[in-house]
Amino acid sequence: MSSGTVTLNDGNEFPIIAFGTGSTMKFKDVTDYVGQAIENGFSHIDTAQFYQTETYVGLAIKESGLPRSSLYITTKYSIGGSPRKAIQQSLNKGLNHTFAQIGLSYVDLYLVHSPRALSDFESGWQEFEKMKKDGLTRSIGVSNFTLEDLQKLSKTAVTKPAVNQISFHPYNYASHKALLVYCAKQSITVEAYGSLNSITQKPGGPVDAVVNAAAKRIGATPNQVIFSWVRSKGVAIVTTSRSKERLQEYLAVEDLPPLTAEEIAAIDDAGAKGPPSRLVVARLAMQHKFERSSSLVMWLAIAIIFGFATFFVARAKALD
């Protein structure tokens, strides 16, 4: 796997960065974006029933021409009813006549999308354990589970979840410390989504300055610093982008100099202060919109002036 792996508690290898098809991509045809991610080095693709992107992931895999064994596919149980029927439905989307040649007879990781998806933890998780035993999925895990959810599941589980995928960024790190400690003790790999929201969706907060300082020191982007910080916590990453340049930026994190202990602590401390107020975020958004509009007006003015200049020069030549 191109960007490194960790070994899950069931012995399977898990790529530490995934291309996700949720967020702004759900409910859309993401075939080209998944294909672009694969072309640029992503081997781990994350989808879910709820996203309604599974079919497009299957198509992108087929179009890539890569063997199934070179890709790691995660999907999630998002609805009520039998988990077994749900995973069979997900697999059938990859096994119909259109995609049969790729042989998607299993997923690498099957997650419970949220605790609410299981009406009963004990019987629901038993189905997950049986699906793993039957080879429909190589690993089983959960998503959006709190410490209390995991403790409740552990009372009856024979097989521990291999992964817990959660929203994770500097502004919620403090509230997740106990969960991270528990997962580490249980050898449950934590995977983060939404990590960049701390600087993209909530700009102007205390995290910005320390992230920018670290980025300047190691010659990285703020996004890369956030991902380096996530990795410093032993947490894997799922992210997304429509931009090829962004995808390359994210994958390059593994090649950057590590953050210092002081930089990691500074991000921790800044995050503990909490995100900026909605007023600050709104003001910055308006400022960005104004700057963008001003830039467009400036270029429009230049284009008009250039047009007039070209017209008068041409007219002068005609008169000559």
Of 51, 56, 72, 106, the catalytic one is: 51
Q: Are 43 and 247 in contact (CB under 8 A)?
A: no
215-252 in b/e form (b: 16+ CB < 10 A) is beeeebbbbbbbbbbbbbbebbbbbbbeeeebbebbbe
171 is catalytic: no
CB-CB contact of 152 with 173 (8 Å): no
Alpha helices in the chain (DSSP H): 31-39, 54-64, 83-92, 121-133, 147-154, 173-185, 197-200, 206-218, 222-232, 244-251, 261-272, 278-319
Taking the C-alpha atoms of residue 282 and residue 271, their distance in angstroms, rounded to an integer, is 19
Place of tokens 């995973």: 87
Residue 276 DSSP code: P
Q: Determine contact, residues 160/154, Cβ cutoff 8 Å.
A: yes
Judge residue 84's burial from the number of C-beta atoms within 10 Å of its C-beta, 0-12 exposed, 13-18 middle, 19 or more buried.
middle
3-state SS, 31-81, equals HHHHHHHHHCCCCEEECCCCCCCHHHHHHHHHHHCCCHHHCEEEEEECCCC
For residue 243, CA distances in Å to 18, 36, 54, 129, 173 come to 15, 9, 21, 38, 28
Cβ partners under 8 Å of residue 292, min gap 6: none
At 33, list the tokens: 């974006």
The residues assigned a catalytic role are: 51
